[in-house]
Structure 1
């Protein structure tokens, strides 16, 4: 399974921020850490705890009887979930500029995106139990400091996407 393993030259594993090289930083109960990803002009958040690996440009194949896009990573076939298509934009054809591997229960999904942004944090009280932006693969949102709102992707909802 692809969980925080060392990455080949095409991938960057996510590592927790560390106060020193040999000790990971403790998780903060007052702040929520998330990674931002972009599809077209739309920005989304993904819980850092659900992220496995950031990858650069990727080419994926359509395989199987269902014609699903798949990505092979370290000899493991992963379902590709196209964030552009889910956002109502034109889907990627067979390649994307960036890929985020996301843990969804026991499955790892390859989330095809235009860009992977920064790791950010917000006070936990800004994580809203609902969202008003209408994305069915997002169960929550984060109120941003600039009065905006960013939808929070629920990896479990991506499985059926």
Structure 2
């Protein structure tokens, strides 16, 4: 089968079985009109009073309606700023305490080194005195006998 003949056959089939398509971007029906509120009560009783006229909003309500969001925003921003400053201050305090503890530890380590060096000098002096005065004469030693002496 050649291509033009196939194309004509497929176009005839497409015309016979035409499918209507609807897309979500193009509505098929226009939107229904919005209902208007009734101007008079639905009850035909004439003894009913007409609805009262609309009141102007109160000054307090208008104030809060207009200013609640900015005041809340300023409050939250101030709270965030305070917390940020507090945590920065706390971090600086921790760093300061650590440096103070390090300096205290270094001072104590130096003091211990000096005390150990002093003890070594004292011990060597005592050892020299004992070694110098502790000349033992061979006849002065007593022989031990038994378990105790």
TM-score normalised to structure 1 length: 0.13
Higher RCO, 1 vs 2 (CA within 8 Å, ≥6 residues apart): 1
Highest Rg: 1 or 2?
2
TM-score normalised to structure 2 length: 0.14
